[in-house]
Structure 1
Amino acid sequence: MVLLDIGLPGMNGYEVARALRAHPELGGVRLIALTGWGAEQDRRRAMAAGFDHHLTKPVDLSVLEDTLRRVALEPRP
């Protein structure tokens, strides 16, 4: 499980997600965007880049905990 911000210097989170998804040995890794970019187009772009979930900052702790719990229970390829 990786919590990844999208607004990173240099390589942004979308690029990092695509790079991680390019490695077959990381196929079971779950990517969670934790970002200040929360518009619907940002969510769609995150999913297209390979994220499994998208959370907008500031994220409520109970939402983060619930997401982490659900992700831990998701089947992996």
Structure 2
Amino acid sequence: MEHSSIKALEQARLIVPDVFLLDIGLPEMDGNELAGYLRAQRETSRAVLVAVTGYGQEQDRVNALAAGFDHHFVKPVDTAKLAALLSQLANSSRS
């Protein structure tokens, strides 16, 4: 887990996660910009990006999806829905 967008981007190249949970309201660069960089990196271009954010207006969701996010969860996150998504992703990666 990283609290810095820059460090997260650097670590992503090394660890290459299958799924990223990203806040949108981040210092240095916002989560939408970070999503764009993750999509542009060869190593992380196919990862699942999940926005976990306090930005919950419809335009925020539209912006997140346009930036490259696959899913958009608004804080406080419904943990049952997030767990179901992560379980679904884990099961589909095993197939």
Instruction: Name 1:46's counterpart in structure 2.
Output: 64
Q: Which amino acid aligns with 2:20?
A: V
Residue 60 of structure 2 is aligned to residue 37 of structure 1: no
Q: Which moved more, 1:20-29 or 1:37-46?
A: 20-29
Please give the alpha-carbon distance, in whole angstroms, between the structure 1 residues aligned to 2:65 and 2:23: 14
Task: Return the letter of the residue paired with 1:67.
Answer: L
Q: Which runs of 5+ in 2 are unaligned?
A: 1-18
SS in 1 for 2:87: helix
Cα RMSD of the aligned pairs, angstroms, is 1.4
The 1:74/1:50 distance shift into structure 2, 3 A limit, reads farther
- The structure carrying a bigger helix percent of its residues is 2
Tell me the number of residue pairs that the alignment of Structure 1 and Structure 2 aligns.
75
Structure 1, unmatched stretches of 5+, are: none
- TM-score for the superposition, normalised by structure 2: 0.72
- Identical amino acids, percent of aligned pairs: 52
| Structure of larger gyration radius | 2
Higher relative contact order (CA 8 A, sep 6+): 1
CA deviation map 1:16-71 (0-9, x unaligned)? 00011111221221100000111111111001000010000001210110121223
